[in-house]
Amino acid sequence: MFRNFGKRTEKAPDADTVVPLWPQNGSAAEAEPSAEDRKLSAFLELKSRMHEALIERLNLAVIDKVEPEELRREVASLVGDVLAEENNPLRADEFRRLVDELIDEVLGLGPLEPLLADPGVNDILVNGHKTVFVERAGVLEQTGVRFRDEKHLLRIIDKVVSRVGRRVDESNPWVDARLEDGSRVNAIIRPCAIDGPSLSIRKFSRDPLTLEKLVAGYALNAQAAAFLQALVEARMNILISGGTGSGKTTMLNAISASIDPRSRIVTIEDAAELQLQQAHVVRLETRPPNPAGGGAVSQRDLVRNALRMRPDRIIVGEVRGAESFDMLQAMNTGHDGSMTTVHANSARDALGRIEQMVSMIGMELPLPAIRAQIASGLQIIVQLARLADGQRRVVSISELTGLEGDVITMQDIFIFRRLGKAADGSIAGEFIPTGIRPQCTALLEAAGARFDRAMFLPEEA
């Protein structure tokens, strides 16, 4: 019935004539895979067969205990045997590449391992099994990395989430997880991901960023860094605010290095990714519901439990809901020096978001009472932004100064002032003090924090 659907002809085609379903105009040539694509597909097919053979022959129960060089020799020997059985010789470079990728498949995350090992890559974004993007220096670029098929990508996703006791399937098609180094992972599969599984990895630097390194990278200036260190030493409660990918967790890690090493710190996160350097740290992580729908542990549950653990400081990776109320209660009841992050586009928006989240607890607290809790619990808001050129900057450090009526008052101590665009397209600007001396100066001095009052003068910038 479809014989005449396609090119128009004056007469019906013969039975042996192939009639194209679509106008040609070069489309057939475009649809035919290139020689490079065919070669890559053949290599992926070979690697898949080798991987199945390795699973059958290797003792996976003890593979983690084998020395890397011994494992390489064992894998190379097995690959050589299988290639000999198939009468399929390979060049030396192809053989080495095959062995390397098979080891990555067995021990790591397969095709993603080279990207995870590349220090220049900040984010890895997998859009289906054929397309992988990375972010370098704030700019996205497509890579030549690909998976053999959708099943291959799903196997890698399952390997990631199962390591942290989580699952992803049709009944629970998305999941937040982490890698062993703390890198943040999000995966979503069909039916929610229409074009196939998607995997997003926010890499964590193996060498944690310090305030000194952030100053060297122009995220803020030395005076502002010294001020943040003084705030942490004086046990001020700090809220770090910013959009997605603006560097909130990185900043939280950096300023937490100034916490007294004798303090008992309890961290609470959805996926544990904070890299605190102190010895006395208790790390808590939420738990999703089990297949029966029970057993979930929320951040609010963990914040409540943390209050019974004799913490000196409580650090919540990010407040997203009702746990914000318990966090404010902790800040107002003796747990000074606590810190958390929130998604917001400005310091004022951050306060509005905290108000909304506290309202979610269902206690019908009056708005003036909520704002009074915020104004007394929080002292400092550090606002971050990811600029259009990919740079991550501190755009303001603001101090909450109290309430005037029902309005929380605040003042900017440091700001980032944009000056335009440089010749290379990057955003030019300077991070400067506003000239306002913070009200907490006396508290900083009383706590013995180290800072210079002159840092707040514009001419010292």
Please calculate the CA angle 18-21-24 and round it to the nearest 5 degrees: 90
What was the pLDDT predicted at 62?
Answer: 62
What is 35-96 written as a DSSP string? HHHHHHHHHHHHHHHHHHHHHHHS-TTSGGGS-HHHHHHHHHHHHHHHHHHHT----HHHHH
Are the CB atoms for 337 and 364 separated by under 8 Å? no
The answer to whether the beta carbons of residues 223 and 438 sit under 8 Å apart is no
Q: What is the per-residue pLDDT for 101?
A: 82
The secondary structure of residue 157, as a DSSP letter, is H
Paired tokens of 322: 């009702």
Task: Give the pLDDT score at 241.
Answer: 98
Q: Are 201 and 184 in contact (CB under 8 A)?
A: yes
Count Cβ atoms within 10 A of the Cβ of residue 351 and give its class: 0-12 exposed, 13-18 middle, 19 or more buried.
Answer: buried
* Beta pairing, strands 392-404 & 380-386: antiparallel
Question: Considering Cα of 55, then 162, then 342, then 447, what sign does the dihedral take?
Answer: negative
- What are 132's strand-pairing partners? 126
| Bridge partners, 202 (sequence order) | 123, 184
CA dihedral of residues 221, 227, 228, 234 (deg, nearest 10) = 170
Half-sphere exposure of 61 (CA within 13 A, CB side): 0
Q: Rounded to the nearest 5°, which phi and psi values hold at 221?
A: -100, 175
pLDDT of amino acid 222: 93
Per-residue burial over 196-231, b = 16 or more CB atoms within 10 Å of its CB, e = otherwise: bbbbbbbbbeeebbbbeebbeeebbbebbbbbbbbb
pLDDT at 404: 93
HSE-up of 382 (CA within 13 Å, CB side)?
A: 29
362 pairs with which residues across the strands?
none
In 344-426, at which residue ranges do the beta strands (DSSP E only) sit? 380-386, 392-404, 407-421
Mean pLDDT per block of 10 residues along the chain (461 residues) reads 38 44 44 73 79 70 70 83 82 85 82 90 94 90 90 91 87 88 90 94 83 93 94 96 92 94 93 86 90 87 93 94 91 91 96 92 86 95 93 96 94 94 87 94 89 81 48
The residues near 424 (Cβ < 8 Å, ≥ 6 apart) are none
Dihedral of alpha carbons 64, 70, 76, 78, sign = negative
Give me the domains of the chain, ranges plus CATH numbers. 27-107 (no CATH), 108-206 (3.30.450.370), 211-460 (3.40.50.300)
Beta strand ranges found along 111-193 (DSSP E): 123-127, 132-136, 139-142, 174-178, 184-188
Chain centroid offset of residue 310 CA:
30
Residue 146, classed as helix, strand or coil, is coil
Beta-bridge partner residues of 405: none
Rounded CA-CA distance 171/157 in Å is 16
Instruction: Look at residues 110, 107, 112 and name the one whose alpha carbon lies nearest to residue 124.
Output: 112
Would you say the C-alpha torsion 206, 209, 210, 213 has a positive or negative sign?
A: positive
Do you find a cis peptide bond into 289, omega within 30 degrees of 0?
no
Strand stretches in 258-377, DSSP E: 265-269, 281-285, 313-316, 339-343
What is the rounded CA–CA span in Å between residue 281 and residue 272? 12
